[in-house]
Amino acid sequence: MAEYIKTILGLLLVAVITGISGVPDSEEYTYCAYRDDRSKFYANDTIFSPNYIPYLVNNTERCGTDYYNRNCFTAWMKDGNGLLSIALQGCWTAFNDTCLVDNCQLESSHFTVKNLTFCCCHGNMCNLDSGNDEVQQIEHQGGVEVKNISSFGTKQLPMMPSVNFTANGVQKGNLLHCHCYPLDFCGGIDECVTETGCFAGIDSDLDITRYGCTASAANQLFLCRLPNDSHIYAIDCCNDKDYCNLDLTPKKQPYPVYHAEEKAEAPLPLDLILVIVLPLVAVMLLVTLICVVCHFRHKKKMKAFSTQERRLLDEDGFRAQQVGDNSLQELLDASCTSGSGSGLPFLVQQTVARQVTLLECIGKGRYGEVWQGRYHGEKVAVKIFSSRDESSWRRETEIYNTCLLRHDNILTYYASDMTSRNSCTQLWLIMQYHENGSLYDYLQINALNHEQMLLLIHSASAGLVHLHTEIIGNRGKPAIAHRDIKSKNILVKSDGTCCLGDLGLAVMHTAEGDRLDLGCNNKVGTKRYMAPELLDETLNPSFFSSFKCVDVYAFALVVWETARRCITGGLVEEYKPPFWDVVPNDPSFEDMRKVVVVDQQRPTLPNRWVSDPILNQLSRVIRECWNQNPKARLPMLRVKKTLSTLLEQAHALKLEHLKDKITNI
């Protein structure tokens, strides 16, 4: 710290001495060569006030310290022989910017005399000479003939006394002369003049003594009152005679010498020790208390959870029995992630089969049966696979356990379980139950208005868009293609929207590394809803986009099924599946290939749709989605946005219809 203070004070001293002795500051005077013939060569009092009295010493004028008054000027006028003669010299006293820079002007509105040239310059006595070789002396008072006015002011004489250095041939007057050293500090001259005093000083660690002049009484007062007990600098002043600072011998105070025993560190005071230690002890005690409280709260919660779990396991009722924890745990470790779409499943998977009561069979399919069950008073749907379809159960379990799969328009998944019933192994998939059943069942018994119809297909498209979309992140969601879109795999919720189910044939794709997961299930989708590229076997399974195009084609058939049940003009068609009039109830692969690929047929669009603005727009969407060329089909996101627009239009038409009814009443 002492060395730091020492350096700062040393730099301060150098700056002070340099400012005093070598470099003019903003308060210094400027001296100019003077000659005046007022009655002929100035026009108005704004340039030279009549009350202005110049400060003259031997034809030398001392200028003011204002910003506009520091420059010198010389004015020439042509005589009868055409030669330029000096008419006016001195300090520029007008408060304007005419003479702020070095320049020459042929005429100026500041003077009444025409054909007058004047030049401005800055610096002491800069107007005394216009450049030795270019000027011819023709008058004792300073008249000159200028052959090259542009060189005026380019050569300045050394600065006049005040804070400035002296030069040969300049009148010194009654000023105090001081010795100045070193020469580079003094502008190459070993003396300076001042009106206040001389000084000698030693700064920082240098052994060189500097000599010079103080600039003013204020500087003399400041410099000479500095304390003389410093170890870094020393300054002495005088003003009793010329060159009096040669007799000054300033000396810095020596640094004190400390003995070894004096440098021993004193012990820390008790107060300081307490200030440091007590807060640390308090923080440690507080952290310990918080840890103890959190431990006991966690222990209490775990005890309550264990009690509730035992109570659930002890409940009576008809329950399927679990095969074994080891087999189920190994299966889950091989096929499942750490949770369903939004984290852990709603039910604990290892014990869920014991807590579900099967009520009635509500459907059968190629993979097994669907039962309605009850879990603690809540209805659930249980999809039961036989042991022969373990690959389908395993694949669907894996898909439903995909992170971030949870969506309002994806069938809610609870858990998967492996149980034994009637000496037979069963594979359970437990999901949310919906009273309305599938879209296939719902359309057979319900006719729809525009808003209901669009709400069903728009919500189904939203679920399919969520499947097709990949979510990038540390635990993101891969893009998923359904591969078995049909009205039987779409469920109708109680609020009139749809959700997609039956993901056993789904394909997953991850953009990072371009990984495509087809699963181990070799079964294909429903033949009635197969796209042309599947029927003619031209689909490229290496590209995930090919599977998304297949979903778009099948979704167009679902939209056609739903739109047929929409009432327009009091008319509505009865429910029919796609291609009901050209293929049998259970068509073969060859039947569908002939109709879709060879004949390129599509389901017929009713003529009444043309007169309905909403169904007419929907028919265009259907045609683009079941196009023969997969690349020409619309992406599902575009379909969803179009259906959203149509839904808004249907809602607006419904409001207008209600307003008309109210008006008619």
Does 97 qualify as catalytic in the annotation?
no
Q: How far apart are CA 19 and CA 143, in angstroms?
A: 37
Task: Give one DSSP letter per residue of 22-60, joined into a string.
Answer: TS--TT---EEE-B--HHHH---TTTS-TT---EESSSE
At CB < 8 A and 24+ separation, what contacts does 601-606 make?
602/626, 603/557, 603/560, 603/578, 603/579, 605/560, 606/564, 606/573
Query: How many CB atoms sit inside 10 A of residue 318's CB?
Result: 8
**Residues 68 and 168 sit within 8 Å (Cβ to Cβ):** no
Q: How far apart are CA 614 and CA 25, in angstroms?
A: 88
| Helix, strand or coil, per DSSP, at residue 206 | coil
Q: How far apart are CA 203 and CA 180, in angstroms?
A: 16
Closest CA to 340 of 471, 473, 477, 472: 477
Q: How far apart are CA 252 and CA 255, in angstroms?
A: 9
Query: How many CB atoms sit inside 10 A of residue 121's CB?
Result: 24
**Residues 319 and 357 sit within 8 Å (Cβ to Cβ):** yes
Task: Give one DSSP letter per residue of 310-376, joined into a string.
Answer: HHHHT--S--PEE--HHHHHHHHHHH--SSBTTBS-SS-TTTHHHH-EEEEEEEEETTEEEEEEEET
Q: Evaluate the omega torsion of the peptide bond into residue 161 and state whether it is cis, within 30 degrees of 0.
A: no
Q: Which of 484, 517, 586, 599 is catalytic?
A: 484
Closest CA to 395 of 522, 541, 523, 521: 521
Give the number of C-alpha atoms closer than 13 A to the C-alpha of residue 227, restricted to the C-beta side: 6
Closest CA to 530 of 461, 490, 574, 579: 579
Reading phi first (left if > 0) and then psi (alpha if -120 to 50, else beta), residue 58 is in left
> CB neighbours of 659 closer than 8 A, spacing ≥ 6?
none
Q: State the distance between the two ends of the chain, measured CA to CA, in whole angstroms.
A: 96
Closest CA to 418 of 335, 502, 524, 314: 335
Closest CA to 397 of 344, 340, 328, 467: 340
Closest CA to 464 of 486, 443, 446, 444: 486
Strand arrangement, sheet containing 84-91: 84-91, 71-78, 116-122, 103-105
Confirm whether residue 383 is marked as ligand binding: yes
**Residues 201 and 209 sit within 8 Å (Cβ to Cβ):** yes
Q: How far apart are CA 587 and CA 202, in angstroms?
A: 113
Tokens of 182: 């070193």
CB-count burial class (<10 Å; 0-12, 13-18, 19+) for 484 = buried
Q: Checking DSSP bridges between strand 116-122 and strand 378-386, what pairing results, if any?
A: unpaired
Q: Where in the sequence numbering do the catalytic residues fall?
A: 484
Q: Which residues are annotated as a binding site for ATP?
A: 383
